[in-house]
Amino acid sequence: MLSRFLLRSSLAAILSAAAVLTVLPSWAAQPTAQEPVEEGSAPKRGRITPFNGAAPPEGAPQADTGQPSEPKASDGDAPSEGVNVIERMGAELPALPEEKPFTGKIDEAYGAFQRGYYLTAMDLALPRAQLGDPAAQTLVASILEQGLGVARDPKEAAFWYGQAAGNGDPAAMFKYALMLMEGRYVERDRKKSEALMKRAADLGNASAQFNYGQTLVADMPGPRGLKAAMPYYEKSAEQGIADAQYALSQIYLNVDGIEESKRARAREWLMRAARAGYDTAQLDIAIWLIEGIAGDRNLDEGFAWMKRAAEGGNVVAQNRLSHLYVNAIGTRPDPLEAAKWYVLSRRAGLKDDALEDFYLGLTEEQQKSALSAANRFRSS
C-alpha cells in the first residue's frame, strides 16, 4: 500500500546521496564562546520613562531635566502628535467592513458531507454523479472508499474516481493515478498513472505536484532529476506539503547550479517542514542549527528541535539527543537523561559505541534510574 505521498520512502534515499551532515559527537569539540559577565551585573531591562517616547501615567512625578518645559499641543504652540497609547486604550474599534455576500453556487452535497451527514451527502451526490458531474463523482468515490455511512466498496470507489478523473477533477486524477500505479482495484498502468499525475499536478493539486516530482527523481536519479522535479516541489511546498518543503531544503542546499536567492531559503523551507510535524525535518533542522548549516548557529534552539524530534519517536534524534546531554550542547549536562535516550535508541536497534562506553561508566543506581525513565517514556 502506498501512503498518501506515493514515494515518500524514496525521497530520503535519493536526497541523502546529495546531503552531507556532520555527526553529532564532533560537536563537543566546537565549544561556543561565552561573553564575560561582570560580577554583580544584570541584564538590562527596558523601562518606560519620559525619555523613550512613552507617556508616564497621570500624576506620576516628572523627571527634572533642567530644560524648560515644552509647550503642550493643546496650547496651540506645538503641532499635535496624535493620540498616545494610554489615551487609545479602551477606545472603541472602528466597525469592520461589511462582508460581501456569497454569490457562488452552494454545493449541498459537500455541505452535508462536511457536517457528517454522509447518507444525505450520498443521496444528493449520486444523481449528479450519474449525470457526469465530476465533483459529485469524486464525493461518491470518497464516501465509498472510506465506508462513511455506507458499506465500504473500494472497487466501486475506483470506478467513480476513474469517471471523475476522466471528467477533469484534479483530486480524482491524483487518487486514480495512485490506484493505477499500484494496480489496486484497477489494472496496473504506470504510463497512464504518470500522465494522469502530471495532469493533476499541472492543474494545481498539491499532492500530485509532490508525487509527480518524485516520479521524475526516480526516473532520472541524480542532479538532473532533482532539478527537473524542483518546480513541482516548489508549487507543492507553497501549498503546505511538508514532504515537498523538506525536499526543497535538501535540493537548495546540496545541488550545484541552484540560484543563490533560492539557496538562501534552504533553512526556511526546512523549518516550515519541521513546524508541520515532519520528524526528519525536525532532526535535520536541529543539526543545521547546531552545526551552523545554511545560517547561524543556535545551540539552544537546535537542542529544542532535537528534543522535539526525539519525543516524537525519531530514533536517530533520540541517539543524538543523548550526545547533546553528554556534551552539554544547548543544555546542561544530564547523565540520567543522556542514558535514558540512549537506552531508547539502543532498544530500537541503533548501536553507538561511544554512548555504550558512557552508559557502562555510570553507577548501577544511575543505570537503573535511566532504564526506569526509558520504560516510563515508552508506556506514556
Section 197-203 average pLDDT: 97
User: Confidence band (pLDDT; 50, 70, 90) for 38?
Assistant: very low
Mean pLDDT of 181-202: 94
For position 252, what pLDDT does the model report? Answer: 97
**Could you tell me what percent of the chain has a pLDDT over 90?**
70
Which three cell numbers, joined as nine digits, stand for 118? 454522509
pLDDT tens for each residue of 338-370: 999 999 999 999 999 999 999 999 999 999 999
Q: What is the pLDDT of residue 42?
A: 40
Written as nine digits, the cell of 35 is 561573553
| SS3 state at 240 | coil
Residue 317 vs residues 75, 187, 277, 346: alpha-carbon distances, Å: 66, 41, 14, 12
Mean pLDDT score across all residues of the chain: 82
- Give pLDDT, residue 106: 80
Q: How far is CA 117 from the centre of its chain?
A: 32
The CA radius of gyration of the chain, in Å to the nearest whole number, is 30
| pTM reported for the whole predicted model | 0.70
Q: What is the pLDDT of residue 93?
A: 63
**CA angle 8–12–16, rounded 5-degree value:** 160
Q: What is the pLDDT of residue 55?
A: 41
pLDDT 10s digits, 275-287 = 999 999 999 999 9
Asked if residue 187 lies in contact with residue 176, where contact means CB atoms within 8 angstroms, the answer is: no
